Each structure stands twice: as structure tokens, then as C-alpha cells.
């Protein structure tokens, strides 16, 4: 089985190493990853300058682009044969609720899906990575059986990517796996006003606190309860319920 691994934290990120360690147990791994952190770049594509892949080892490339660029280059030109799966991550930090819309980790899996390759995004819901680094390392133990299972399904769901979040626990404390839906998260105080060195007003987006809400079967609840969360996502943003009720609100002009 050919596995393409990418991420949005950059080719030097520890989470990518952990993903590659797990993926190597189940297939032949090719890494194509950004040369620097690209978190929250979502599904952006580089159109206005060329991309330069640099070989960093056997089946290992860094690219001066986004996660989407990496997956597109890998599938279209860098890999001699198409991958059977795209694996993205392990992101340093959770990707649940609305975060999937900002996430470069999830976008790399979306690009795989857009290219017709079944794809799985993996994120580690730890906060301070320095404190949780041992727990991140131990995720290999839970990831190998999970990836082995997901990549050997008779019918991997069509037109679907799987968004996996791992709880910030030691491997032997993980309670199991739950199939979930996206919850909602609310950030507060995530814009910090400050001054630049010349005294001008600037703002820095990031940090702050967040709270979440969601049903019993939400991704946040699963992580809160100590389970691995697996959320099936699709790219079709059409609001189907709204279409179904169109006769109540839509009047053709």
C-alpha cells in the first residue's frame, strides 16, 4: 500500500514524524510536506510563484508551498504511482468544529479527496505540546491499529475524508473510538491589540480561550470523554435541508 504523508506544521514537525512512524507499519510511505509551518492556511493554492520541491531523502520532499500544493504536486508529479491513501498530520493541536475550515491539516486531506484519493486527517488535541510530547509519541500505539483498520475497510466511504482527533492521553488511557459529528467552538479574546516598534496599532490573531458546544455525538464530547474522534467530512457544502424546504422560502424571480 502506498501512503502519502503531509501536514501543515512543516516537514520538521514532531507530529509528522509520529504519523510516519505509524504509517510505515502499514505501507510504503512518501512524505511531501511544507518547508515551514502553514497552519491555518486552509485550502490555499500557490498560483503566483513557482514551487521548488527539495528531496530530503528517499521518498521525502519539502516544498515551499501550502499543504494543498504539497498533495497536488505529490499525486500529480512527485510520486511515480498514485497513493492509495493521503494521511495528513499529526497536527499539533485539535481540529474540531469550525477549525476544520481553517485547518491546513484537514485541507491536505481535502485535496487528496479532490484528486480522488481516500484521505485521513489526524490531529492531536493536546494543548502545550512540550508538556504533551510523550503522549504524542505514544499515539503511534493507537494510530497503527486505527489506520490499519481504516485503510483496510472493504468500502472506504466514497467522497468522504475522515477527520481524526486524538485525545491528549497516554495510549493506555484512550478509551476507544467514536464516530462523531462536528461540534461548535467559540473563541474569546483571540485578537490581541498591541503596538509595533514604531508605536502604531497592530493586532495579533491567535491564543485566547475557547469554549465548545455540541451534541453527545460531537467531536468535542468524544475528546472530552477520552475517546478518539472520527468525523466523516465531505466537500459538498450544499445545505440539503434548505433545498428540501425551498418551497417555503424560495420564490423564483
- Rounded-to-integer distance, Cα 127 and Cα 119, Å: 25
Minimum distance from CB of 91 to Mn ion (Å)? 4
Residue of the chain from 9, 17, 35, 219 that contacts Mn ion (CB under 5 A)? 9
Residue 38 Cβ, how far from Mn ion at the closest point, in Å?
7
Whose cell is 490555499? That residue is: 44
Under 8 Å between Cβ of 72 and 51: no
User: Shortest distance, CB of residue 146 to Mn ion, whole angstroms?
Assistant: 20
DSSP calls for 191-224: EEEEE-TTS-EEEEE---EEEEE--TTBHHHHHH
Interface stretch with Mn ion, choices 90-98, 146-154, 159-167, 175-183 (CB under 5 A): 90-98
Judged by CB, which is closer to Mn ion: 6, or 180?
6
Binding mask 39-78 for Mn ion (x = CB under 5 A): x---------------------------------------
Query: Which residue sits closest to Mn ion, CB atoms considered?
Result: 39
Q: Is 99 a binder of Mn ion (CB under 5 A)?
A: no
**Angle subtended at Cα 243 by Cα 241 and Cα 245, rounded to the nearest 5 degrees:** 70
Helix (H) or strand (E) holding 38: none
Q: Does 91 bind Mn ion (CB under 5 A)?
A: yes
Amino acid at each position: 500500500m502506498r501512503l502519502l504523508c503531509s501536514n501543515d506544521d512543516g516537514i520538521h514537525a514532531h507530529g509528522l514524524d509520529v504519523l510516519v512512524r505509524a504509517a510505515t507499519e502499514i505501507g510504503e510511505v512518501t512524505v511531501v510536506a511544507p518547508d515551514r509551518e502553514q497552519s491555518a492556511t486552509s485550502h490555499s493554492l500557490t498560483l503566483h510563484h513557482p514551487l521548488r520541491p527539495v528531496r530530503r531523502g528517499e521518498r521525502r520532499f519539502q516544498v515551499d508551498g501550502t499543504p494543498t500544493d504539497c498533495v497536488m504536486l505529490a499525486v500529480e508529479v512527485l510520486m511515480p504511482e498514485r497513493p492509495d491513501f493521503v494521511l495528513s498530520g499529526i497536527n499539533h493541536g485539535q481540529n474540531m468544529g469550525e477549525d476544520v475550515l481553517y485547518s491546513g491539516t484537514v485541507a491536505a486531506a481535502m485535496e487528496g479527496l479532490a484528486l480522488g484519493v481516500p484521505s485521513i486527517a489526524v490531529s492531536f488535541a493536546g494543548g502545550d505540546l512540550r508538556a504533551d510530547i510523550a503522549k504524542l509519541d505514544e499515539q503511534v500505539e493507537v494510530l497503527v491499529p486505527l489506520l490499519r483498520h481504516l485503510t483496510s475497510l472493504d468500502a472506504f466511504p466514497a467522497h468522504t475524508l475522515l477527520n481524526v482527533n486524538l485525545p491528549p492521553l497516554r495510549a493506555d488511557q484512550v478509551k476507544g473510538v467514536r464516530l462523531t459529528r462536528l461540534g461548535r467552538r467559540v473563541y474569546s479574546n483571540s485578537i490581541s491589540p498591541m503596538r509595533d516598534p514604531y508605536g502604531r496599532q497592530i493586532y495579533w490573531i491567535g491564543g485566547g480561550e475557547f469554549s465548545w458546544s455540541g451534541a453527545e455525538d460531537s467531536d468535542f464530547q468524544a475528546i472530552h470523554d477520552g475517546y478518539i474522534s472520527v468525523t466523516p467530512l465531505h466537500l459538498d457544502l450544499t445545505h440539503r435541508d434548505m433545498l428540501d424546504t425551498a418551497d417555503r422560502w424560495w420564490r423564483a424571480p
